[in-house]
């Protein structure tokens, strides 16, 4: 290669950054940061209105699900229309759908979201506490050696 085409390569090595120092919070002090998401419940209505809204949303579909299950039982398994078996099938289908709606309603409500967030934050604090105690145990073990 000619000298004109040849390039002189420079050293482009970049040293890595030093390891970051991890701050271990002493047991008695509060956490150094607030949770990333905070939930507050502001009611612009009453709990009675919310309960009536839940009934308006779940009662018709629960009845429809119960009737659908009853029709399937009558046509598919020859269950007599007027019998305890038919009543049991209707009631269990109705109750199952209503309980599913109740669970979804309560998890998706502001109170349910606050409960889920509190449980998840408790898990976060518990994991942090386990790591902190393990770190302190390692420090004590290093001091003994």
Residue 9 has pLDDT above 80, yes or no: no
Q: Is residue 4 part of a domain?
A: no
The 10s digit of each residue's pLDDT in 91-134 is: 999 999 999 999 999 888 888 888 888 888 888 888 888 888 88
Per-residue pLDDT band for 29 (boundaries 50, 70, 90) equals low
Q: Do residues 55 and 91 touch, judged by C-beta distance below 8 A? A: no
Task: Tell me the average pLDDT across 61-77.
Answer: 95
Is residue 27 a part of any domain in this protein? no
Higher pLDDT, 41 or 36: 41
The predicted pLDDT at position 74 comes to 94
- Shared domain for 124 and 134, answered yes or no, is yes
Cut 0.85: pTM above it? no
Structural domain count of the chain: 2
Residue-by-residue DSSP string for 25-67: PPTTSPPSS--S-------SS-HHHHHHHHHHHHHHHHHHHHH
Q: Could you tell me what percent of the chain has a pLDDT over 90?
A: 36
User: Does 47 score more than 90 pLDDT?
Assistant: no
127 shares a domain with 92: no
Q: Is 32 inside a domain boundary?
A: no
pLDDT at 32 over 90: no
The answer to whether residues 85 and 132 belong to one domain is: no
Structural domain of 91: 53-108
| CA 53/CA 47 separation, integer angstroms | 10
Burial of 114 (0-12, 13-18, 19+ CB in 10 A): middle
């Amino acid at each position: 290669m000619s000298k004109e085409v040849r390039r002189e390569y420079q050293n482009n090595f970049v040293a890595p950054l030093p390891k970051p120092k991890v701050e271990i919070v002493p047991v008695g002090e509060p956490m150094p940061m607030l949770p990333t998401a905070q939930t507050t419940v502001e009611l612009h209505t009453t709990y009675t209105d919310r309960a009536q809204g839940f009934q308006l949303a779940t009662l018709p579909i629960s009845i429809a699900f119960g009737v659908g299950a009853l029709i399937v039982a009558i046509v598919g398994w020859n269950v007599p229309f007027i019998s305890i078996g038919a009543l049991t099938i209707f009631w269990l289908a109705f109750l199952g759908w209503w309980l599913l709606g109740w669970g979804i309603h309560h998890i998706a409500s502001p109170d349910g979201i606050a409960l889920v967030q509190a449980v998840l934050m408790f898990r976060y604090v518990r994991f942090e506490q386990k790591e902190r105690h393990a770190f302190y145990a390692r420090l004590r073990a290093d001091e003994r050696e």
